[in-house]
Structure 1
Amino acid sequence: MSFSGKYELQSRENFVPFMKAVETPDELIQKFKDVKSITEIVQNGNHFNVTITTGESVIHNVFTIGQEAEFGTLAGYKIKGVPNLDGPNKIIVKLNSVSLVTELNGDKLIDTLTVGDITYTRISKRI
């Protein structure tokens, strides 16, 4: 199953508590809490090119499954992690204290980020 496509944020849960837990500045939380994002993924085998546009903020991540890469955050930080596949439609990355699971379920892209006991879920729909 290919992740390639463009996805628009439909819903999210626990954005503010998660952002506070990862020490995102309050002004950035307020700036992005009600902004819809667009995620564009280009997959070529195990190589991924991901662009997330949230308002004026653009995060661009390029990675290959099984190889260490840098991942950008809304706060502008870069965190290193090794993405791995869990079956044909799930990518798992451990980024310091944050666990990120991205799953493709039909036309929905579901991102689940966990830090401690706080889970932030983003559901985007293919457009």
Structure 2
Amino acid sequence: MAFAGRWETETQEGYDEFCKLLGIPNDVMERGRDYKLITEVTQEGNDFSWTQIYPKNHKITNHFTIGKESDMETVGGKKFKATVHMEAGKLSVTFPNYHHTSEISGGKLVETSKAGSVVLKRTSKKI
């Protein structure tokens, strides 16, 4: 239940390089650079609802159960199937172009997305 709650971005590292690698348009990248992304998580046992609220109130919600294949969607609207795993308190999932992990560390939500050698690290505080 550690992930449950509402989180707001405090810091992010590697944002520009990661967005460029994924082909995010410059205007979208500019809007998101200093945006305080809101992440809302509900958790009931192994069942999760994970919503991210982007600029202009654009929302992406993924529902998943640990260890079971689920229908997922990227911020760009691409739909895919993936299985979210939990190991040592970390959630991990492979998106079409990168691998993503989420963990609670020091009371913060720490999300790390890796595509080859490019890493985006976002840290959020509970609100």
TM-score for the superposition, normalised by structure 1:
0.91
Report the residue type matching 2:53 in the other structure: T
42-51 vs 90-99, which moves further: 90-99
Report the residue type matching 1:25 in the other structure: P
1:80 shift after superposition: 2.5
Mapped to 2, the partners of 1:74 and 1:95 lie a distance apart of 11
1:102 shift after superposition: 0.3
Report the residue type matching 2:86 in the other structure: L
Q: Give every structure 1 segment of 4 or more consecutive aligned residues whose post-TM-superposition deviation is greater than 6 Å.
A: none
Mapped to 2, the partners of 1:16 and 1:78 lie a distance apart of 23
Report the residue type matching 1:77 in the other structure: K
Distance 1:80 1:16, change over 3 A: farther
> Which residue does the alignment assign to 2:37?
37
TM-score for the superposition, normalised by structure 2:
0.91
Counterpart check, 1:58 vs 2:56? no
Alpha-carbon RMSD across the aligned residues, in angstroms, is 1.4
> Which residue does the alignment assign to 1:110?
110
> Which residue does the alignment assign to 2:101?
101
> Which residue does the alignment assign to 1:73?
74
Mapped to 2, the partners of 1:10 and 1:107 lie a distance apart of 13
Matched residue count: 126
Distance 1:95 1:59, change over 3 A: same
The DSSP-based 3-state class of the residue aligned with 1:59 is strand
Instruction: Determine if contact 1:28/1:75 at 8 Å carries over to the other structure.
Output: no
> Which residue does the alignment assign to 1:19?
19
43-52 vs 21-30, which moves further: 21-30
1:29 shift after superposition: 1.2
| Structure 2 portions without partners, runs of 5+ | none
Mapped to 1, the partners of 2:80 and 2:53 lie a distance apart of 18
Mapped to 1, the partners of 2:115 and 2:97 lie a distance apart of 6
